[in-house]
Amino acid sequence: MSKEKLDIKILAKKMELLDIRVKELEEMNIKQFIHRLESLENDQYMMKDVFTVPEACKFLELSQSQLYKLTSKLKIPHYKPRGKIVYFDKKELLEWVKRNHQQEIQYADEPEEET
């Protein structure tokens, strides 16, 4: 009879540990889900055709001051339909980024890569 009591105590302890682990996994899955959802929300702007200044900064990986300098010097395509708020066309930004393509320099002592 004492063996049965011991087995029941061990089983109860294992069930308790299992319950704790299940709760940890549920909490971890919720945290992962929230993180993924926040990531998707942050990247949702990529689906747009027209960007605001913060979205363009994120897209181009520039600070706002750098972007405003480029707009004030008319070095980047942008729009001001109401005079103050600046907008950027995604396609035009991509074309602007692709300007001045840099060719690879092949040095004499380097072997040519085969493709």
Tracing tokens 């980047």 back to the chain, one arrives at: 76
Tracing tokens 């940890």 back to the chain, one arrives at: 24
Contact (Cβ atoms closer than 8 angstroms) between residue 93 and residue 51: yes
Average pLDDT value for the chain:
85
Higher pLDDT, 26 or 87: 87
Nearest to 67 by CA among 103, 96, 39: 96
* Alpha carbons 44 and 22: distance in angstroms, whole number: 33
Q: Global pTM?
A: 0.57
Tokens of residue 105, six digits: 């320099």
Using one digit for the tens of pLDDT, what is the confidence trace for 2-19? Answer: 667 668 888 888 889 988
Higher pLDDT, 43 or 60: 60
